[in-house]
Structure 1
Amino acid sequence: MSDESGFENSETDRKKTGIVMPLLIGLVLAAGLGAGGFYVTYSGMLGGNSGEADAAALHGAPPVAFVPIDPILVSLAGSGSPRHLRFRAQIETSPGQQDAIVAIMPRILDVLNSYLRAVSTEDLERETALIRLRAQMLRRIQLVSGDREVRDLLVTEFVLN
């Protein structure tokens, strides 16, 4: 009887070992491959010389100049307590166009003030408001500036209180 129970125990141990061993080997291999993949990616072996390509792209980029827009404080109409929007931005342009942009700054401020006063408080509180407002304001500045080169509008302050 003791021989039979010993035989059954050894067979159960083999089954447990047969199940556990492949799982253990798979776990060790997965950890090793993950560590190897991290090292290859982190060390820069994979993907070529991306740092040098970025530096080359930067040197080939056209020169830019920034023209600051005076801060704008807009009182917002709405229910409840009075709310204000504080806005500050810069216009990205080419270096030769700075003086032309500064010359029409009163028109730019007028179009931005008019637009920001027309926007509802609910529109300003949305998560995507800044993206939409930035695109709308950039388009209005481009319309006001005419043939002057206005590349982008960089919002540096947008506070709603």
Structure 2
Amino acid sequence: MSESEELTEKTVGKRSKLPLVLGICAALLLGGAGFYTVYSGLIPAFVSSSSKPGGEAAPSFVPLDPLIISLGPQSRSTHLRFAAQLEVDGAHQKEIVALMPRIQDAMNGYLHALEMRELEEPGALIRLRAQMLRRIQIVTGEGRVKDLLVTEFVLN
């Protein structure tokens, strides 16, 4: 082999690592800049509502009066005792308390319409809770009641 062939093989076989190093540095720089903009709140879409000045009020809980539902004569149990609490924004608490008779009526009507087999199913409480929450949200208006927390669900 001649010297010129050896030099061309060495230069062709050895690539420059400069583009790789520049790419890694650019990725780190852009990643850091992205983190800083989101963390500092420069992008409003990513700012949580709790860190905004004048954001939502803290959630509060409004207890529902316990309901005792008579079950039909064909059922093994005679009564259903149901108690729950509503999770609402503090700003809407007075409105929800004022609508409590309508909420109780909606709950009573729904629970009376259920059949015993629907109450005894293994996943019944999850499905019933979702149905009752939806009815409560219809009565109170969208966005006022966040969640329904079932505190008592007893068949006897």
User: Where in structure 2 are the equivalents of 1:117-132 lying within 5 Å?
Assistant: 117-132=112-127
Kindly indicate which of the two structures has a greater share of residues assigned to helix: 1
2:83 matches 1:88: yes
Deviation at 1:148, TM superposition (A): 5.5
Distance 2:118 2:75 in 1: 16
Tell me, which stretches of 5 or more residues in structure 1 are unaligned?
Answer: 1-56
User: Where in structure 2 are the equivalents of 1:45-56 lying within 5 Å?
Assistant: none
TM-score, normalising length: structure 2: 0.62
User: Where in structure 2 are the equivalents of 1:22-101 lying within 5 Å?
Assistant: 63-79=58-74, 83-101=78-96
Distance 1:133 1:117 in 2: 12
Matched with 1:9 is none
- Moved runs in structure 1, 4+ residues, more than 6 A? 59-62
Deviation at 1:159, TM superposition (A): 0.2
Deviation at 1:83, TM superposition (A): 1.0
Q: Aligned letter for 1:114?
A: G
Deviation at 1:82, TM superposition (A): 5.9
Distance 2:117 2:98 in 1: 34
TM-score, normalising length: structure 1: 0.60
Deviation at 1:146, TM superposition (A): 1.6
Identity of matched residues, %: 54
User: What is the CA deviation profile of residues 92-140 of structure 1, one whole-angstrom value per residue up to 9, with x for unaligned ones?
Assistant: 0101111100000000000000000000011100110000000000000
Contact 2:81–2:153 (8 Å) recurs in 1: yes
Change (3 A) 1:114 1:64: same
The alignment of Structure 1 onto Structure 2 pairs a total of residues equal to 104
Contact 1:71–1:89 (8 Å) recurs in 2: yes
2:104 matches 1:109: yes
Tell me, which stretches of 5 or more residues in structure 2 are unaligned?
Answer: 1-47
Contact 1:97–1:148 (8 Å) recurs in 2: no
Q: Secondary structure at the match of 2:122?
A: coil
Of 134-143 and 145-154, more deviation after overlay is shown by 145-154
Contact 2:57–2:91 (8 Å) recurs in 1: no
